[in-house]
Structure 1
Amino acid sequence: MEVQWMNHTGFVVSDIERSLAFYRDLLGLSIERDQVLEGDFISEVVGYPDARLRIVYLGAGDQRHSVELIQYLNPAGDAVALPQRHQVGATHLGIIVDDLDAFYADLSAKGVRFVNPPATRPNPVYPAASKGCYMQDPDGNWLELLERGPAPPDATSV
């Protein structure tokens, strides 16, 4: 028995079109799958009778890991206060970017909520990040943007 790979990270969202404008249009992720799921199987998986969900998977085009956006159409979800970053149950998705300063400047100008400008780590050792910052999606889900230097020739980690 073994874990084969990490497939996706899911976020329940209030408005999938608004979330697509963020993840697809602002972050540049590509839609991998967009579907409405209903019927016995999905009802059993999520534990709600007569469940109906719109699910969109987005990725960076490498098929390694996806962001799954889920909007519950039935039962409709209510907004709740999300935990603060330090509280048990808080979650975040880490995203490696090529130029964190450029992402920060562009997304800040477009109204994205950041906790901080990019912080720089002195003397990072690959694969550790050299820069990082936290931001939120439209529903308040946390994303950690990270930048790291190029991999050394003998690196075995991605």
Structure 2
Amino acid sequence: MTASTLSAHHVGITVNDLEELLAFYRDVLGLTVVDRFAVGGDAFADAVGVEEGRAEFAHLEAGGIRIELVEYDPEARGSPAAGLNQPGATHVGLAVDDLEAFYADLPESVSTISEPRTTESGTSILFLRDPESNLIEVLES
């Protein structure tokens, strides 16, 4: 056990096309870009375990949570299972005041798993996919 206290810093999503995904998270979901940068060199490549790796990053503000989009060079091959019920599945959870209004304002090009639904716990949720099929849960707070 360490004497240091951990705190959340960001949620990361590795993407194939940073510019396309950045436009989606900024323009469709309304998140604010707070930082853009690139990292490379031996120390970075060693730290992430990607030989000769470098990456472009974009950080977005999502109501107190930072979402990090990262595009690696060289690009990885293969991907984890996309279903929510698969081990290793991931998603980003975002909250809105009015889920029905959020859903109604989504562009037709945005793929959703279903219309908004209220679960037996009383939470209204909606799952959608970004342009690279990463899952995003939007729930009513």
- Same fold (TM > 0.5): yes
The match for 1:98 is: 97
Name the CA distance, whole Å, in 2 between partners of 1:110 and 1:21.
16
- Residue segments in structure 1 that go unaligned for 5+ positions in a row: 125-129, 149-158
- Percent identical pairs in the alignment equals 36
Between Structure 1 and Structure 2, the one with more strand by share is 2
Within 5 Å, which residues of 2 pair with 1:16-55?
16-55=18-57
Residues 45-65 of structure 1 deviation map (CA, whole Å, 9 limit, x = unaligned): 1112221100111113x5x32
Residues 91-120 of structure 1 deviation map (CA, whole Å, 9 limit, x = unaligned): 11110112111111121x331111111112
Name the CA distance, whole Å, in 1 between partners of 2:23 and 2:31.
10
Q: 1:76: how far off?
A: 1.9
Within 5 Å, which residues of 2 pair with 1:4-15?
4-15=6-17
Q: Is the Cα contact below 8 Å between 2:80 and 2:89 reproduced in 1? A: no
Q: Is the Cα contact below 8 Å between 2:58 and 2:68 reproduced in 1? A: yes
Within 5 Å, which residues of 2 pair with 1:1-158?
1=2, 3-60=5-62, 62=63, 64-72=64-72, 74-78=73-77, 80=79, 82-107=81-106, 109-121=107-119, 124=122, 130-148=123-141
Q: 1:78: how far off?
A: 3.4
TM-score, normalised via structure 1 length = 0.79
Q: Which letter maps to 2:137?
A: E
Q: May I ask how many residue pairs the two structures share in their alignment?
A: 139
TM-score, normalised via structure 2 length = 0.88
Q: Which letter maps to 2:11?
A: T
Q: Is the Cα contact below 8 Å between 1:32 and 1:59 reproduced in 2? A: yes
